[in-house]
Amino acid sequence: MPTKAMFLMIKQALQKPFTNPFPVKHAPVNVTALIEKVQKGEVKIHPPVPVPEDFRGKIHYDPERCIGCRFCITVCPADAMEWIPELRKIRHYVSRCMFCALCVDVCPGKKFPGEEKAVKALAISEDFLLADYDKYSDNLIEEPPEAKEKGL
């Protein structure tokens, strides 16, 4: 007797996969040689899957636009924002972030002379390649450059 699980498996088997295919048909022995062949035009690679319209990727932080209101820290459910009192700016830990974008929604931003509207200090990007061996690497922490220079 067919069950719901059987129908679901058949349905999923007939659907197009959502994953990105590997860039080439078979895994290469030498990746550097493969890249050289691609650059010469000897090998074609699969194009990447396009990012959906409402995709919530890595959140970028522009310290020049930050007014220090700390609304983002207040609304962040993952506790991914940290206040740097010496600079009156924030540090965003991407490795803790759950990409809900609440911080982007509440950010009032800053209006520079000559601009019609204030631009937010936090913005959602299309970056999704966030894998790293170190959760405290520069790729996974968004902070003002002064914080790195002063060691804050």
Q: Quick one: pLDDT band at residue 122, thresholds 50, 70, 90? A: very high
Q: For residue 7, what pLDDT is reported? A: 87
Q: Which amino acid is at 90?
A: I
Residue 14, Ramachandran bin (φ over 0: left; ψ between -120 and 50: alpha; else beta):
alpha
Look at residue 7 and give its three-state secondary structure. Answer: helix
Would you say residue 113 has pLDDT above 80?
Answer: yes
88 backbone φψ class: left, alpha, beta (φ>0; ψ -120 to 50): left
What per-residue confidence (pLDDT) applies to 50? Answer: 79
Confidence of residue 24 (pLDDT cuts 50, 70, 90): confident
How far out from the chain centre does Cα 100 lie? Answer: 11
DSSP-derived secondary structure letter, 48: P
How confident is the model at residue 129, as a pLDDT?
74
Beta carbons of 29 and 94 less than 8 angstroms apart: no
Mean pLDDT of 88-101: 92
pTM of the model: 0.67
Q: What is the DSSP string of 76-141?
A: -TT--EEEETTTTEEEEETTT-----HHHHH---B--TT-SS-B-SEEE-S------S-TTSGGGE
Q: 142, exposed or middle or buried, with CB in 10 Å at 0-12, 13-18, 19+?
A: buried
Question: If you average pLDDT over every residue of the chain, what do you get?
Answer: 86
Q: At residue 17, does pLDDT exceed 90?
A: no
Type of residue numbered 39: Q
* Nearest residue to 67 (alpha-carbon basis) of 116, 120, 114, 115: 120
Q: What is the three-class DSSP state of 61?
A: strand
- The whole-number average pLDDT for the span 6-34 is 80
